[in-house]
Structure 1
Amino acid sequence: MRVSVLDQSPVGEGHTGADALRASLELARHADRLGFDRYWVAEHHRSPGFAGSAPEMLAGAILSATDRIRVGTGGVLLPRYPALKVAEVFGVLATLHPGRVDMGIGRAGGPAADFPARLRELSSLLRLPGGADLYPEALTAVPPVPPELWLLGASAGSAAAAGELGVGFAFAHFLVPGPSARALQAYRAAHTAATGVEGHGGLLAVRAVVADTQARADELAQAMLLWRARKDLGDDQPLPSAETVRRHRWTGLESERAAHHARSVIHGTPEDVVPRLRALAEANGVRELMVNTLTQDPADRVRSYQLLAEGFELSGTRSGASVVAAAAG
């Protein structure tokens, strides 16, 4: 099982956007050491709860601050930008950090009608699968190792489009859990038909939080659910603290929205969460999970990923255990 990180650079109550971006850099350093496979940063605009408005910039900073982990976007909203500009940016990133750059692309943020054409243009510019050789001299410098292209989505339609292009597909289970298995099946079928190659199972992006005790995990999950319920009802705020949630008087509509989202937030101790995540991966036919964790306090988020890495016995935690054992001997 490969385990990765989806970072939305959450802004917690009492913190600033600058605090959130610095916390993302620090979390990426931890993820690199702990053995996570990828670290993707998201794009959001004018959101009090998320600070990452320029993911390609943040990805560049994280690439420079880490040594091993693949770094990318989850994702750049392609309808907002010319394909050439996106290709140039990722061409530079992939040239400076060969073999470590992922280019995750989303279709939100603008008209969707020309999205397939934009995606094909982007693929062509970077010499990626799915793009005809339309622009042989378009980039200032074509990277020696091109970035991996991933399409992000939450429907069977976007899954099939990724498969037809022969690129990676990441399903946003944390947004719309229901159709995940069906969408990933559609992706694999389209990918096999287009490339003749089986085995690319796609990636499942899930929302989870892990803590040392079940009580603490419950508190952190409730904070996420209050934030999400408020957002659904048009009250977009920073992530509330556990103390704020304890004092909060839930309205009927907030409780209803929280209950709707509760099934997509996996929380608990590592002994509870890791088997549930493994079962979810198996049910969806994937060998890689990308975990998104939102907390008001960055320290809770770091601890959650540390416990997750230990539960999955990722390479960084195994190396650390070996060092400790050797020192003890």
Structure 2
Amino acid sequence: MLELRNLGYRYPGSERAALQNINLQLHAGQCLGLLGSNGAGKTTLLSLLSNVLSPQQGELSWHGPRSLALVPQQLAFYAGLKVGENLKLFADLYQLRGTERRERLQLCIDCTGLSDKLQRRADSLSGGEQRRLNFAIGLLQPAQLYLFDEATVGVDAQSRQLLLAAVEQLTDTGKAVIYTSHYLEEVERVAQRILLLHEGQVRLDLDTTQLLGADHGLLLEWPDQPPAGLAAVLTRLELNAELLPRGLRIAALDGSQLAVISDFVASQSPLPTLMRFGRPSLEQLYLRLNGGQL
């Protein structure tokens, strides 16, 4: 659907390029999770895709008609209008008519939980409710590619689940999505592919199965140090462990090995302060790849 070749951009007066040599192919039905620290170039990339900025280097090619919708960081609605009035106004701007108009309006209201807010003025909503209205207006626009730029900031946990389900529904129906967020658990849920930007360059571009892997690992920590005898248990199980200041990490083990270690640990005193089994989280990997910087 979309291809970027050596894309670059530098803001006037800046010593460093905001983006340089960005190469990317995005396909229909795919959600790309766009990660990076503040100032890494995420918003600049979305601005180039949405034609707010023009590329100064490289090419941006659409295969088929250019059709995109943007949910920006900034609130983009009319504060003096009611919620329902805002949605109807944007439906007019998007030239929605007839059955499509009614269905899309109802879908966006349901996806964002705004059915009981339609008669309230937008400026009377809480911050999280305004975010939900912003989200609904972006969903309302018919498009093949949807861009979400920190779209759930300030939204409560229950409402966030509604919004994430709406993003998943987009990809299920063949739409492409680029989703940027500092809530890494959101990206881990909705994205099939991860792009990590660092100082305007792509540091990592992998699908989530490659990034997170299929192996299950174990992380253990104690108040002081691991109990004596644990090393012998690991040797008997033929497991290698990475030593940590107050514990250890085992990169991969199976259920029977976990059961032996758990039985041993439970019989010792003191018990561990942390015992976590499973795949590594995206947050753990992101912090390691990004040099520990948030």
Please classify the TM superposition score into its range, dividing by the shorter chain length: 0.3 to 0.5
What is the TM-score normalised by the length of structure 1? 0.31
The answer to which structure has the higher strand fraction is 2
Q: Which structure has the larger Rg?
A: 2
